Structure 1
Amino acid sequence: MRNNDRVTSATRQPDIPAATARPRLIATDLDGTLLRDDKSVSPRTVAALAAAEEAGVEVFFVTGRPARWMDVVSDHVHGHGLAICGNGAAVVDLHGAPGSHQFVKVRELARENALDAVRRLRDAAPGTVYAVEQTYAFNTEPEYPRLHMEVPDVLRRAEELLGPDGPAMDEPVLKILAFHPEMDPDAFLTLARLAVGEHANVTRSSPSALLEISGPGVSKASTLALCCAERGISHEEVVAFGDMPNDVEMLTWAGRSYAMGNAHPDVVAAASGRTVANNDDGVAIVIEKLLTE
């Protein structure tokens, strides 16, 4: 990530809006938000999450991570145990042993839309390489970098992975990942959104030029809205936290929202409030304050 991608504020105090009614649901991103940079959940944050649930406030983890990467917070879910994964592509029940999480809701990316996005972006940004994220399978092109030290199941061109004879045809496609080895991350995002148009939803959460492409209308915000509607919770009763462009829609939708001290400038502009950085327990500080309202 470029040095100006995040706004650092080690000494900034939380910018907490004036007290209103206690929220009914807290929605928080994970990486760069709830988790510290070493991917741990601090004791203070664990205590704040437990206190929220004890007070009757539901907590939803809302992340770009796939379900198989949710073990980092599986021990910290309470009550419903649900998380929104893949930038809204899946709602997952985190109860149960690691690796046995259950998919409750899937909002898939149609293969024809995925193929269309691949072709459009190949033309607009030559050199782009792809990975295909499904409910369980993870397949990549041979040139796709090992960004997370994860070994793919199959190495083939994206057009083959998504074609009628591709692997794991019985599994929905949740999103495709598009990586460019040279482009500026924000410039790549802007170009991709113009190229793909309304055929898919394009966002990013990585410090590198790595884009996440989901089905049209699929986002953290839209899936969170569905989960809230099922519970009779309005957006005014939701407090949300985030740090990267894939959080912007969720922060705009929620009644109250907080950009982390380390957040991308677009996130700062979208949020109604500000807290300190993820390494300084920014989410926990706000939750503690909210529970005193």
Structure 2
Amino acid sequence: MCAPPHTRARICGTIAYVTSTTPRPRTPASSVPPRLIATDLDGTLLRDDKSVSERTVAALAAAEAAGIEVFFVTGRPARWMDVVSAHVHGHGLAICGNGAAVVDLHGGPGGHRFVKVRDLSPATALDVIGILRAAAPGTSFAIERTGGVHHEPAYPPLHLDPTVGVAPAEKLLAAESDCADQPVLKVLAHHPDLSPDAFLTLARAAVGGLVEITRSSPTALLEISGPGVSKASTLALCCAERGISHEEVVAFGDMPNDVEMLTWAGVSYAMGNAHEDVVAAASGRTVANNEDGVAVVIERILARL
């Protein structure tokens, strides 16, 4: 059985790992005081063991105390946000699913509430799945809905949470599906043989602008969102609601799904462990996630206030 559907609010919007050698930090110049910090989680704020260091917890709290909002902006689904739920302040919101949802974390573990959903239509998802099956034979798919994840039999086993349903993607997306009333947040596509970047390049060329395709995994796992849906576009909407301009945002990331956000933000930092495309997109660079690279920059920002 599927979990009950969550509250929906439709909105519109437009808008290869490098080596672990510690880079020389690069600090971009900015004359605009920051009003919001937007940070990715895995490989960025979180250490490799998925913990939040005491130094980072203190830096986040100090930023909020100084009047700088902190937004977690991640590819994770809402149900994986318990790792940072205790560290949200004030607004309590996080952007999940690469921009597909804005989630209120105040309810604590199991009590997260969807505030906004930017879903992917099942018809478009089916079109994309058909294109990728033809372009990259052997691809298997999973469907991430607001109520949980569903996947095909050939899709790699899931370890972090239970599967809601297993069936061919066409059946999982059918109008008569038991979960058809739950919005589709994203489609996941896995290939057993292609390299991660080669799969991403192939998929983008095959699909064109029909959807947004990115990746955040070290494996050949693509994340497919609705057209115009990204971390950047949803963050822009949240900032607009607060009267915050992109020049007043400082962003952090490490993987290709962070590139648009880092490009949009007035000041942005690639982690020391970041993908080469992220390094090219960011205006600055900090040390790796295991060295508390986000906290290092926040401390530097607060010292200048």
Q: Do both share a fold (TM > 0.5)?
A: yes
The equivalences for 1:247-258 within 5 A come to: 247-258=258-269
Q: For residue 135 of structure 2, what is the amino acid of its counterpart?
A: A
- 1:6 corresponds to 2:18: yes
Which deviates further from its counterpart, 55-64 or 97-106?
97-106
User: Retained in 2: the 8 A contact 1:22–1:291?
Assistant: no
The equivalences for 1:1-293 within 5 A come to: 5-10=17-22, 12-18=23-29, 20-293=31-304
Equivalent-residue separation in structure 2 for 1:6 and 1:70 (angstroms): 26
Equivalent-residue separation in structure 2 for 1:141 and 1:19 (angstroms): 48
Shift of 1:149: 4.3
Equivalent-residue separation in structure 2 for 1:111 and 1:95 (angstroms): 30
Aligned-pair identity in percent equals 72
Report the secondary structure of 1:199's partner residue.
coil
Equivalent-residue separation in structure 1 for 2:206 and 2:218 (angstroms): 21
Q: Give the match for residue 3 of structure 2.
A: none
Q: Deviations over 1:51-71 (max 9, x none)?
A: 000000000000000000000
Equivalent-residue separation in structure 1 for 2:115 and 2:160 (angstroms): 28
Equivalent-residue separation in structure 1 for 2:279 and 2:228 (angstroms): 23
Shift of 1:150: 3.1
Report the secondary structure of 1:26's partner residue.
strand
Q: For residue 71 of structure 1, what is the amino acid of its counterpart?
A: D
Equivalent-residue separation in structure 1 for 2:280 and 2:24 (angstroms): 17
> Gapped runs of 5+ residues in structure 1?
none
User: Retained in 2: the 8 A contact 1:27–1:240?
Assistant: yes
Equivalent-residue separation in structure 1 for 2:162 and 2:113 (angstroms): 22
Equivalent-residue separation in structure 1 for 2:216 and 2:251 (angstroms): 16
Q: For residue 226 of structure 1, what is the amino acid of its counterpart?
A: L
Report the secondary structure of 1:292's partner residue.
helix
Shift of 1:147: 4.5
Q: Deviations over 1:209-260 (max 9, x none)?
A: 0000000000000000000000000000000000000000000000000000
Equivalent-residue separation in structure 1 for 2:81 and 2:136 (angstroms): 32
User: Retained in 2: the 8 A contact 1:238–1:255?
Assistant: yes
Q: For residue 237 of structure 2, what is the amino acid of its counterpart?
A: L
Q: Deviations over 1:188-227 (max 9, x none)?
A: 0011111111111000000000000000000000000000
Shift of 1:18: 3.0
Shift of 1:21: 3.0
Equivalent-residue separation in structure 1 for 2:99 and 2:25 (angstroms): 27
Q: Deviations over 1:81-136 (max 9, x none)?
A: 00000000000000013111010000000111100110000000000000000011
Shift of 1:176: 0.5
User: Retained in 2: the 8 A contact 1:137–1:168?
Assistant: no
